[in-house]
Structure 1
Amino acid sequence: MNTIVNAIVEISASFLADTGFGFEFLISLVLCAGHMPRRSYFAARMAGAVALVTIFLWGWNHIFPVTLATSIVHYIVFFALIVACAVLCWAIDSEQALVVTIAAGILQHCCYRAASLIGYGISDTAHLSLQCGSYMYVLSLIPIFILGWWCFARLLRFSDFHMNYRSFIPLTGGMLVCANILTNAFESLALDTTSEVRFVFALFDLVSSFFFMMLLLQMMKRHHAENNSLVLERMLAEQRKQLASSKEVIDLINIKTHDVKKQLGSLGRLIDPQEQAELQEMLNIYDSTVDTGNDTLDVVLQEKSLICEKRKIRFERIVDGKLLYFVRSHDIYALFGNALDNAIEAVSHLEEEKRYISLDVRQNRAMIAVVVKNPFEGTVEFVDDLPRTTTGDDAYHGFGTRSIRMITQRYGGVMAISTDDNIFTLSLLIPVR
Structure 2
Amino acid sequence: MNIMSSIQVFLYAACMTAFFYPFMAGRKEPGKSRIKKVLMVFAVYMVMYFIGMTTSVYGWLCMMAVIVLLAAASKFLDMEREFTMLLGVLFFCARKLSALVMRSVSFVVDKRLEQKAETLEMTKSIFSRAASNYAFVAVLQMLLLSVMLCVMGRLLKKKIRKLHIKELCYLLLIPITGILFVNIIFNILLIVNENLVFQLYEQFPVFLGIVPVVAALFYAGILITIVFYQKMIGLQEEKEKYFVEQQQVHAIQERMEEVEQFYHGICQMKHEMKNHMTNIKGLVRNGSYGDIEQYIDHMDESMNVFELTIKTGNTVADVIVNDKQKAAEKQGIQFQSEFSYPKSDGYNAYDIGVIINNLLQNALEACEKMAEGKRYIYLSGRQKKKFYLINVKNSFEGEVTFDTKTNLPLSTKGEDISLHGIGLSNVKREVDKYMGDVDIRTRKNEFSVTVLLQERRKK
TM-score if structure 1 supplies the norm length?
0.54
The correspondence for 1:350, drawn from 370, 387, 390, is 370
Range 334-343 or range 230-239, more displaced: 230-239
Indicate conservation of the 8 Å contact 1:286/1:306, yes or no: no
User: Is structure 2 residue 424 aligned with structure 1 residue 397?
Assistant: no
Compared with structure 1, are the counterparts of its residues 176 and 233 closer, same or farther at alpha carbon in structure 2 (3 Å cutoff)?
farther
Indicate conservation of the 8 Å contact 1:374/1:423, yes or no: yes
Q: Partners of 2:411 and 2:247 in 1: how far apart? A: 19
Compared with structure 1, are the counterparts of its residues 246 and 382 closer, same or farther at alpha carbon in structure 2 (3 Å cutoff)?
same
1:145 corresponds in structure 2 to 66
The correspondence for 1:230, drawn from 238, 247, 265, is 238
* Amino acid corresponding to residue 314 of structure 1 in structure 2: Q
Indicate conservation of the 8 Å contact 1:160/1:224, yes or no: no
Q: 1:186 Cα shift?
A: 2.9
Q: Partners of 1:254 and 1:359 in 2: how far apart? A: 25
Equivalent pairs counted in the alignment come to: 297
Compared with structure 1, are the counterparts of its residues 202 and 237 closer, same or farther at alpha carbon in structure 2 (3 Å cutoff)?
farther
Q: Partners of 1:200 and 1:180 in 2: how far apart? A: 13
Matches within 5 A, 1:46-195: 135=56, 138=59, 141=62, 145=66, 149=70, 157=81, 179=98, 182-186=101-105, 188-192=107-111, 194-195=130-131
1:295 corresponds in structure 2 to 315
Task: Structure 1 unaligned segments of length 5 or more: list them.
Answer: 1-27, 33-110, 121-131, 162-171
Q: Partners of 1:284 and 1:325 in 2: how far apart? A: 32
Task: Structure 2 unaligned segments of length 5 or more: list them.
Answer: 1-15, 21-44, 86-90, 114-129, 162-229, 284-289
Q: 1:360 Cα shift?
A: 0.8
When Rg is computed on C-alpha atoms for both structures, the one with the higher figure is 2
User: Is structure 2 residue 408 aligned with structure 1 residue 386?
Assistant: yes
Q: Partners of 2:409 and 2:390 in 1: how far apart? A: 18
Indicate conservation of the 8 Å contact 1:418/1:425, yes or no: yes
* Amino acid corresponding to residue 370 of structure 1 in structure 2: I
Deviations 1:329-362 (A, max 9, x none): 3322221110000111111232332222111111
Q: Partners of 2:65 and 2:109 in 1: how far apart? A: 27
Compared with structure 1, are the counterparts of its residues 285 and 325 closer, same or farther at alpha carbon in structure 2 (3 Å cutoff)?
farther
Indicate conservation of the 8 Å contact 1:350/1:376, yes or no: yes
Deviations 1:162-197 (A, max 9, x none): xxxxxxxxxx9x999974763453355455462322
Q: What SS does the aligned partner of 1:312 have?
A: coil
Q: Partners of 2:301 and 2:311 in 1: how far apart? A: 21
Indicate conservation of the 8 Å contact 2:341/2:381, yes or no: yes
Compared with structure 1, are the counterparts of its residues 308 and 255 closer, same or farther at alpha carbon in structure 2 (3 Å cutoff)?
farther
Q: 1:427 Cα shift?
A: 0.9
1:418 corresponds in structure 2 to 441
User: Is structure 2 residue 216 aligned with structure 1 residue 216?
Assistant: no
2:136 corresponds in structure 1 to 200
Q: What SS does the aligned partner of 1:369 have?
A: strand
Q: 1:430 Cα shift?
A: 1.8
Q: What SS does the aligned partner of 1:301 have?
A: helix
C-alpha RMSD of the superposition: 4.9
Compared with structure 1, are the counterparts of its residues 303 and 259 closer, same or farther at alpha carbon in structure 2 (3 Å cutoff)?
farther
Provide the identity percentage.
21
Compared with structure 1, are the counterparts of its residues 313 and 253 closer, same or farther at alpha carbon in structure 2 (3 Å cutoff)?
farther
The correspondence for 1:280, drawn from 279, 294, 301, is 301
* Amino acid corresponding to residue 408 of structure 2 in structure 1: L
Q: Partners of 1:159 and 1:136 in 2: how far apart? A: 27
Deviations 1:87-107 (A, max 9, x none): xxxxxxxxxxxxxxxxxxxxx
Deviations 1:284-335 (A, max 9, x none): 3663264322222122112212212222222211122134642333322221
Q: Partners of 1:307 and 1:198 in 2: how far apart? A: 72
The correspondence for 1:407, drawn from 418, 422, 430, is 430
Indicate conservation of the 8 Å contact 2:102/2:137, yes or no: no
Q: Partners of 2:146 and 2:65 in 1: how far apart? A: 13
